[in-house]
C-alpha cells in the first residue's frame, strides 16, 4: 500500500498547479507550459473546446426556440444569473446557474459566474484600457487604501508583451491618463460620436473622447495565425464563442497554445477544496480537489501554485486552506484575507437624442464603443468624493417600422422602415473604494454539495458612490447640452454590486505584510510559493475594465516564479 501511495503521489505531481482556466489562469498555463514546466490546470466546470462546444455560434435568429429570449421557467429558477446581460438563449449555457454554487448574501450581491474551460473569458466585454501611473498613485495619494507596491513602469513592458499576443485594436491617442499600447488598427467613431468628441474638446480641458480599445484582431499577424485565429468578422455575437477566434479568449488562444507544447494537463469537474500546507517545509505542497461528479477526494502536488479561480472563489479557497500554521486561512497572519473587496459602479446611465445628421446612419456592427477616460480627481482632489469614473458612449439611429394600414398600404409600410433621430447613451464605470467592511468570509454553518463552506458576501455601496453617481449625471447632462443633444434623461438602475462582474480584492498586494497579503510579485508574503494574479490581488480598482491588467500581472508573476525556481 505504501508503494501505491508513493506512485499515486508521483503520478499527481507537477512543476506548477494553476487553479482556474479563465483570463489569468489561461495566461499562467501558457507561460509555464511554453517555458517547459509540467503544468496542471484545475477547472471546476465542464470542458468547452474552441470551435467544438459553441452550440449557438452560427445559429440564425429564427433558429432559436424562443427567438433568443430565455424561458420564464429558466428566468424564475435563476433570479441572479438572469439579471446578467448575456443570460439569453444564445449564451446562457456559459453562465453558471444559481443552484450550481449557492452563496450567502449579507447584503444584495449578484455574483455572476462562468464555470467551464476559459471561465468568463468567453463572455467578457473585451475592453482593454491600460492603467496609468495616476491609477496606481490613487490609494497612496488619497489615503483610502494601502499603496500599490508597483507602478506603471513595472507593468508597462508586460502590458506590451500581453497585447502583442492577444491582439488589441486601438488608436494612438497620446493621453497620459490612458497610455497607448501595442495596437492593431483601431476602430473609428461615427458622426455623432465625432460630433460629441469635438464638443467636449471645445468646451473642456482634460476631457477626451476616444474609440475604446478592445481585444479584437483587426489585422493579420503571424502570431495570430499560429494561434489559429483570424481577423474579427464584426458579427457582434462574441458571447456565443467566436469560431474565428476574432476576439481573445482563453479557449481560442492561451490554453490551446499551452496544450500544443505537450506540457499542459487539464482536468475538469474538479472543485478545489483547499491548498495543502506543509508545516515542516513551511510552504504549500499541493491542492486538495473534490471531483464534482463522483465527489471523490484527490490531491495534486507541485512546488509552485497559482490561484486564479476568479476573485471571490480565490478568497474562498484561501480562507478554506487552514492548517496548524494558518488557522485563519493560508497566508492570513494579519487577519485581512477576504477584506477590502471593491468593484466597479455601473449603476448610472444618461440617454439623449440629436435631431441632426439626418442624411447619415450607421451600417454594420462594431464590437466597441467610444470611451471617455476618467477626468475627475486625476491629478489632484477636486470634488467632495474620492477618485472618479470613466464612461462609455454610443450612438445609433433607431429604425422605425410603421405597422399602420391595411393591404397594400400595410405592405408598403412594412417593407420601408425609416430611420428615426439619433439616440445616444452613456454608462458610468465608477471606481469604488476598498473598505475593510466590504468583505467575504466562510459561513461554517452552511456547505455546498461538496462539503465546502459557503462564501458569505458582505459588500455594499457607500456615500462616496452616491456622490459619484450624482456627479456623473450632472457632468454628462452638461456635456450633452453643450453638444446640442435633447431629451436628456438620467437613470440610476440601483443594481446590486456584483452585476458589474468586476469584483476585486480580498488578497491585496502591498508593501507591508502587516497590511497586505501579497508582495510586488503577487507572492503571498507568508507562503512564497503561492501566487494570486486574478482580481483578488487588486489593491484598488481604478476605472478601466480589469482583464488586461490581470493578464499583464500574471505574465509578470510567472516570469518571476520561473526565475525564482531556478535559484
pLDDT tens per residue across span 250-283: 999 999 999 999 999 999 999 999 999 999 999 9
pLDDT in tens, 339-354: 999 999 999 999 999 9
Percent of the chain at pLDDT exceeding 90: 95
Beta strands 348-354 and 418-431: pairing type? antiparallel
Render the burial of 36-50: b for 16+ CB within 10 Å, e for the rest: ebebbbbbbbebbeb
Kindly state the DSSP code that residue 555 receives in the 8-state scheme: H
Please answer whether residues 504 and 340 qualify as being in contact, where contact means their C-beta atoms are separated by less than 8 angstroms: no
Please list the residues that pair with 552 across neighbouring strands. Answer: none
User: What are the grid coordinates assigned to 157, written together?
Assistant: 513592458
pLDDT interval class at 245 (50, 70, 90): very high
pTM of the model: 0.96
- Whether 170 has a pLDDT exceeding 60, the answer reads yes
- Listed in sequence order, the residues at least 6 apart from 554 whose beta carbon sits closer than 8 Å to its beta carbon are 24, 27, 28, 31, 306, 308, 522, 533, 534
pLDDT in tens, 188-238: 999 999 999 999 999 999 999 999 999 999 999 999 999 999 999 999 999
pLDDT given at position 389: 98
Mean pLDDT of 155-176: 98
pLDDT given at position 5: 65
Q: Containing H/E element for 423?
A: strand 418-431
Distance CA(144)–CA(147), nearest Å, equals: 9
Beta strands 523-524 and 527-532: pairing type? antiparallel
- Whether 1 has a pLDDT exceeding 60, the answer reads no
User: What are the grid coordinates assigned to 73, written together?
Assistant: 421557467
Q: 336 or 10: whose pLDDT is higher? A: 336
Mean pLDDT of 477-497: 98
Cα torsion through 508, 514, 520, 524, rounded to 10? -70
- Listed in sequence order, the residues at least 6 apart from 327 whose beta carbon sits closer than 8 Å to its beta carbon are none
pLDDT given at position 133: 98
pLDDT interval class at 363 (50, 70, 90): confident
- Using alpha carbons, list the distances in angstroms from residue 37 to 40, 437, 563: 10, 40, 12
Mean pLDDT of 320-346: 98
pLDDT in tens, 390-415: 999 999 998 899 999 999 999 999 99
pLDDT interval class at 3 (50, 70, 90): low
- Whether 485 has a pLDDT exceeding 60, the answer reads yes
Q: For residue 542, which of 120, 132, 149 has the smallest C-alpha distance?
A: 132
pLDDT given at position 174: 98
Q: Containing H/E element for 444?
A: strand 435-447
Amino acid at each position: 500500500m505504501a508503494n501505491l501511495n508513493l506512485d499515486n503521489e508521483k503520478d499527481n505531481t507537477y512543476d506548477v498547479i494553476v487553479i482556474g482556466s479563465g483570463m489569468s489562469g489561461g495566461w499562467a498555463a501558457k507561460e509555464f507550459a511554453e517555458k517547459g514546466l509540467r503544468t496542471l490546470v484545475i477547472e471546476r466546470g465542464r470542458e468547452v473546446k474552441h470551435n467544438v462546444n459553441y452550440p449557438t455560434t452560427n445559429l440564425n435568429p429564427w433558429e432559436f426556440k424562443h427567438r433568443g429570449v430565455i424561458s420564464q421557467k429558466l428566468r424564475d429558477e435563476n433570479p441572479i444569473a438572469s439579471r446578467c446581460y448575456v443570460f439569453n438563449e444564445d449564451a446562457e449555457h456559459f453562465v453558471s446557474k444559481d443552484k450550481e454554487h449557492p452563496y450567502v448574501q449579507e447584503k444584495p450581491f449578484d455574483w455572476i459566474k462562468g464555470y467551464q474551460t476559459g471561465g468568463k473569458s468567453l463572455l467578457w466585454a473585451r475592453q482593454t484600457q491600460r492603467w496609468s501611473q495616476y491609477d496606481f498613485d490613487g490609494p497612496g495619494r488619497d489615503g483610502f487604501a494601502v499603496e500599490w507596491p508597483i507602478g506603471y513602469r513595472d507593468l508597462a513592458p508586460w502590458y506590451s508583451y500581453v497585447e502583442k499576443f492577444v491582439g488589441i485594436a486601438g488608436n494612438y491617442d497620446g493621453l497620459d491618463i490612458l497610455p497607448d499600447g501595442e495596437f492593431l488598427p483601431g476602430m473609428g467613431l461615427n458622426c455623432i460620436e465625432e460630433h460629441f468628441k469635438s464638443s467636449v474638446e471645445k468646451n473642456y480641458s482634460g476631457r477626451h473622447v476616444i474609440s475604446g480599445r478592445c481585444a479584437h484582431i483587426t489585422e493579420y499577424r503571424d502570431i495570430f495565425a499560429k494561434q489559429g485565429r483570424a481577423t474579427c468578422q464584426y458579427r457582434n455575437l462574441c458571447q456565443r464563442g467566436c469560431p474565428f477566434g476574432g476576439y481573445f479568449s482563453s479557449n481560442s488562444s492561451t490554453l490551446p497554445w499551452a496544450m500544443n507544447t505537450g506540457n499542459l494537463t487539464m482536468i475538469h469537474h474538479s472543485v478545489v477544496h483547499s491548498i495543502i500546507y506543509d508545516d515542516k517545509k513551511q510552504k504549500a505542497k499541493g491542492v486538495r480537489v473534490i471531483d464534482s461528479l463522483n465527489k471523490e477526494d484527490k490531491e495534486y502536488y507541485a512546488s509552485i501554485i497559482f490561484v486564479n479561480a476568479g476573485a471571490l472563489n480565490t478568497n474562498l479557497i484561501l480562507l478554506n486552506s487552514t492548517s496548524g500554521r494558518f488557522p485563519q486561512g493560508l497566508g492570513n497572519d494579519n487577519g485581512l484575507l477576504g477584506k477590502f473587496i471593491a468593484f466597479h459602479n455601473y449603476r448610472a446611465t444618461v440617454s439623449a437624442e440629436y435631431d441632426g445628421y439626418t442624411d447619415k446612419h450607421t451600417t454594420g456592427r462594431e464590437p466597441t464603443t467610444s470611451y471617455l477616460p476618467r477626468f475627475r480627481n486625476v491629478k489632484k482632489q477636486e470634488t467632495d468624493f474620492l477618485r472618479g469614473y470613466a464612461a462609455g458612449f454610443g450612438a445609433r439611429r433607431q429604425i422605425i417600422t410603421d405597422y399602420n394600414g391595411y393591404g397594400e398600404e400595410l405592405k408598403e409600410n412594412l417593407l420601408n422602415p425609416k430611420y428615426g433621430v439619433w439616440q445616444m447613451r452613456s454608462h458610468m464605470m465608477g471606481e469604488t473604494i476598498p473598505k475593510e467592511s466590504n468583505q467575504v468570509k466562510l459561513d461554517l454553518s452552511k456547505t455546498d454539495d461538496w462539503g465546502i463552506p459557503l462564501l458569505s458576501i458582505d459588500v455594499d455601496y457607500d456615500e462616496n458612490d452616491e456622490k459619484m453617481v450624482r456627479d456623473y449625471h450632472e457632468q454628462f447632462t452638461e456635456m450633452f447640452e453643450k453638444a446640442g443633444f435633447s431629451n436628456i434623461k438620467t437613470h440610476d438602475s440601483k443594481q446590486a454590486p456584483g452585476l458589474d462582474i468586476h469584483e476585486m480584492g480580498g488578497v491585496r498586494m502591498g508593501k507591508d505584510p502587516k497590511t497586505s497579503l501579497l508582495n510586488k510579485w503577487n507572492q503571498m508574503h507568508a507562503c512564497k510559493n503561492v501566487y494570486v494574479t486574478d482580481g483578488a490581488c487588486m489593491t484598488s480598482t481604478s476605472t478601466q475594465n480589469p482583464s488586461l491588467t490581470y493578464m499583464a500581472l500574471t505574465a509578470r508573476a510567472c516570469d518571476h516564479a520561473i526565475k525564482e525556481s531556478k535559484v
